[in-house]
Chain A
Amino acid sequence: MRYNKILIIMVVVLAGCSLTSHLVMLVTDINVSVIFGTITGLGSLIVLSSLACCWSSTITSLKIITKKLNDNKPEEAYAGAAKQLLPLLESIRKFSQDSAKKTEEITKQSMDFNLQLRLLRREKKNTESILYSINDAVIVIDGYDRLIMANSASERLFDFQFDELSVAPVSEVISDSKFISLMHQSGQSKQSHVKHDISVERGGEMLTFDCVISCVKDEAGEVSGVVAILHDITREKEISRMKNDFVSHVSHELKTPLASINAYAEMLVDGEAEDQATVVDFCKIIQSQAQRLNRLIEEILNISRIESGLIKVDKKPFSMAILIQESSKMIESYAKEKNISITVPAPIICDQVNADKDMVSQVVINLLSNAVKYTPKGGHITVESEVHEADKNICVKVSDTGVGIPADDVEHVFDKFFRVEANKKVAKGTGLGLNLVKQIVEKVHDGEVFVTSKVGEGSTFGFNMPLALEHAGKVSN
């Protein structure tokens, strides 16, 4: 009997194992189904059916064996048990094989899944790094106006801190109501790209941005989000304004001599010159105005050539004091018209520079003519030149008793097209002369320009320029 009981227990255990393995299979399959979908779920149903059949068959067999043992027919019970046991063992072996195969498949799928997950995370990180590194502000909201992405540039622009984990309505994070309204409007209009110029105040400065707002659409064509990209165009706007001012100034400056040429030529044609002397006067005016026109065009072209590095430079040694004397003679008549006196330095030795004489002459003439232009009648202009032996350079200063420049404007006077607002009414100009001085001194001759000024008292413009090397050596020796 004891043997019989052991046999029965074995059968029950085996049946239990079979049941457990089925259950494991089922549970695993359900897990997989959760991950991979309904296909394997269907497999689980099939396993469940087979499990039910197997369990039912085992119960029936147990009942038969128990009956044989109760009827004192142990041989038949053993035979029945063995008969029952063999397919059960086969079933277990098969389930075990299936289970191992499925486990292997699942492990492989899991590894693939993990790999894909890592790749996706890396891709997301890369995309975020790119978005965060660009200088343009990028802001993304979802279909419910919640902020889901904002890069560092946008945080700086609108002064907020983006929290990836806290999904909040964009209007609660960004306070610029005009920008928020544009994003709403774009989302509602469902337009692919809408471009706006918007102004944003940052640190007391008004900046202009080119704002492109695009709708993100799902497969059904519904708006699922809105992306805004803001590009700072403040500098471009400023350059554009300066260019417009420049065109306006230059066209006026060009048209003035052209107007004279045109008018006097017409007067000659119409016989308005009453005598030969007047005819000659008219012709001289035409000639001088044509030269003026040419000088202006040359000035514009020179700045352009120096900036682009295309200007031909002819450097030769010459005395700075002599050049100053020669240049001041060219301004004399202009200064006399305003009864302005000019004091120039006496020729000194050891003041040779290795430079382009025409260009440096242009520098001195521009500084002198500016001084005359902005000095009231009866004023005085002093030109000084000092050789700094230790620094191996020469310093030239042009001081006037003119109107002076307000402190805020001093640092801009060498900027291209810049004109001191307060002095615009004192004299005409293009805002090119001092820029040309700076370009010639600093870009072509490795020197440096400087200016000091006081409103109502006058200004001192000047430059330092290296002495000719051979000569500088003599000085230092």
Chain B
Amino acid sequence: MAHRKALVVDDEIHIVQVVAIKLRNNGFDVTTAENGAVGLELAGEICPDIIVTDFQMPVMTGLEMIENLRKQESTKDIPVIMLTARGFAIEEGQKESLKISAFLSKPFSPREVLKTIEETLDTAAVI
């Protein structure tokens, strides 16, 4: 079975690193990006099965990256999980309109991230 591909986007190197290690230890091929702009570019290139992204980042925020992902044919259906310390900053309805699969609040649990990714991918597979 081919490894599932995950893209982890966060400007905090330690956060990217910990999520990446957790996912790699559990059978994912992980690519990392330091902001939304780099994430958007890499998503177009590697077409990951799942994207885990921060909300507030320099250059391009997580939300702006998702908006752009949804505009591109190759990336419009990639499930996204958002890690954020500012969940309240998401406007009503944005979760649905941008098809954000789940929000996880910081401080988060890597176990919880993995579990949410597995559930999201399972749901996507059924659909």
- Which A positions have Cβ atoms within 8 angstroms of B? 248, 251-252, 255-256, 258-264, 266-267, 270, 272, 274, 285, 289, 424-428
Residue pair B14, A260 in contact (C-beta under 8 Å)? yes
CB distance from A212 to the nearest CB of B (A): 31
CB distance from B78 to the nearest CB of A (A): 23
CB-CB under 8 A for A259 and B85, given A267-B21, A267-B110, A285-B14: yes
Residue pair A251, B86 in contact (C-beta under 8 Å)? yes
- Which B positions have Cβ atoms within 8 angstroms of A? 11-12, 14-15, 17-19, 21-22, 25, 56, 58-61, 83, 85-86, 89, 106-111
Q: Which residues on the A side are within 8 Å of B18 (C-beta)?
A: 260, 263-264, 267
CB-CB under 8 A for A263 and B15, given A252-B85, A256-B106, A258-B107: yes
Q: Which residue of B lies closest to A270 (CB)?
A: B111
Q: How far is the CA of A139 from the CA of B10 in the complex (A)?
A: 56
Q: Which residue of A lies closest to B54 (CB)?
A: A256
Residue pair A259, B108 in contact (C-beta under 8 Å)? yes
> Which 9 residue pairs of A and B lie closest in terms of their CB atoms, listed nearest first?
A255-B85, A259-B107, A262-B107, A259-B106, A260-B14, A252-B85, A263-B18, A255-B106, A258-B107
CB distance from A69 to the nearest CB of B (A): 117
Q: How far is the CA of A289 from the CA of B19 in the complex (A)?
A: 16
Q: How far is the CA of A264 from the CA of B107 in the complex (A)?
A: 11
Q: How far is the CA of A426 from the CA of B61 in the complex (A)?
A: 11
Q: How far is the CA of A403 from the CA of B14 in the complex (A)?
A: 26
Q: How far is the CA of A428 from the CA of B12 in the complex (A)?
A: 11
Residue pair A428, B22 in contact (C-beta under 8 Å)? no
Q: How far is the CA of A350 from the CA of B43 in the complex (A)?
A: 58
* Contact pick for B107, options A263, A267, A425, CB 8 Å: A263
Q: How far is the CA of A103 from the CA of B21 in the complex (A)?
A: 110
A-B contact pairs, 29 of them (CB 8 A): A248-B89, A252-B85, A255-B85, A255-B106, A255-B107, A256-B12, A256-B15, A256-B106, A258-B107, A259-B107, A259-B108, A260-B12, A262-B108, A262-B109, A263-B15, A263-B19, A263-B107, A263-B110, A264-B18, A266-B111, A267-B18, A267-B110, A270-B111, A272-B21, A272-B22, A274-B25, A425-B58, A425-B60, A426-B59
Q: Which residue of A lies closest to B59 (CB)?
A: A425
Residue pair A259, B11 in contact (C-beta under 8 Å)? no
CB-CB under 8 A for A260 and B15, given A255-B107, A266-B111: yes
Q: How far is the CA of A272 from the CA of B114 in the complex (A)?
A: 13
Q: How far is the CA of A251 from the CA of B18 in the complex (A)?
A: 21
Q: Which residues on the A side are within 8 Å of B59 (C-beta)?
A: 425-426
Residue pair B85, A267 in contact (C-beta under 8 Å)? no
Q: Which residues on the A side are within 8 Å of B56 (C-beta)?
A: 252, 428
CB distance from B25 to the nearest CB of A (A): 6
Q: Which residues on the B side are within 8 Å of A248 (C-beta)?
A: 86, 89
Q: How far is the CA of A299 from the CA of B78 in the complex (A)?
A: 40
CB distance from A428 to the nearest CB of B (A): 6
- Greatest chain B CB density within 10 A among A259, A261, A425 is at A259
- Greatest chain A CB density within 10 A among B21, B59, B111 is at B21
Q: Which residues on the A side are within 8 Å of B85 (C-beta)?
A: 251-252, 255-256, 259
- Greatest chain B CB density within 10 A among A256, A264, A270 is at A256
Q: Which residues on the B side are within 8 Å of A425 (C-beta)?
A: 58-61
Residue pair A264, B14 in contact (C-beta under 8 Å)? yes
Q: Which residues on the A side are within 8 Å of B107 (C-beta)?
A: 255, 258-259, 261-263
Q: How far is the CA of A248 from the CA of B17 in the complex (A)?
A: 25
Q: Which residues on the B side are within 8 Å of A267 (C-beta)?
A: 18, 21-22, 110
Q: How far is the CA of A262 from the CA of B25 in the complex (A)?
A: 18
Q: How far is the CA of A261 from the CA of B106 in the complex (A)?
A: 11
Q: How far is the CA of A331 from the CA of B106 in the complex (A)?
A: 28
Q: Which residues on the B side are within 8 Å of A252 (C-beta)?
A: 56, 85-86
Q: How far is the CA of A264 from the CA of B13 in the complex (A)?
A: 13
Q: Which residues on the B side are within 8 Å of A258 (C-beta)?
A: 106-107
Q: How far is the CA of A410 from the CA of B95 in the complex (A)?
A: 37
Q: How far is the CA of A289 from the CA of B106 in the complex (A)?
A: 14
- Greatest chain B CB density within 10 A among A252, A285, A426 is at A252
Q: How far is the CA of A260 from the CA of B21 in the complex (A)?
A: 13
Q: How far is the CA of A235 from the CA of B12 in the complex (A)?
A: 36
Given A266-B111, A272-B25, A425-B59, 17 more pairs with CB closer than 8 A: A248-B86, A251-B85, A252-B56, A255-B106, A256-B106, A258-B107, A259-B12, A259-B107, A260-B14, A263-B14, A263-B18, A264-B18, A266-B110, A270-B111, A425-B58, A426-B58, A427-B58
Q: Which residue of A lies closest to B84 (CB)?
A: A252
Q: Which residues on the A side are within 8 Å of B111 (C-beta)?
A: 266, 270
* Contact pick for A428, options B11, B21, B25, B108, CB 8 Å: B11
Q: Which residue of A lies closest to B89 (CB)?
A: A248
Q: Which residues on the A side are within 8 Å of B58 (C-beta)?
A: 424-428
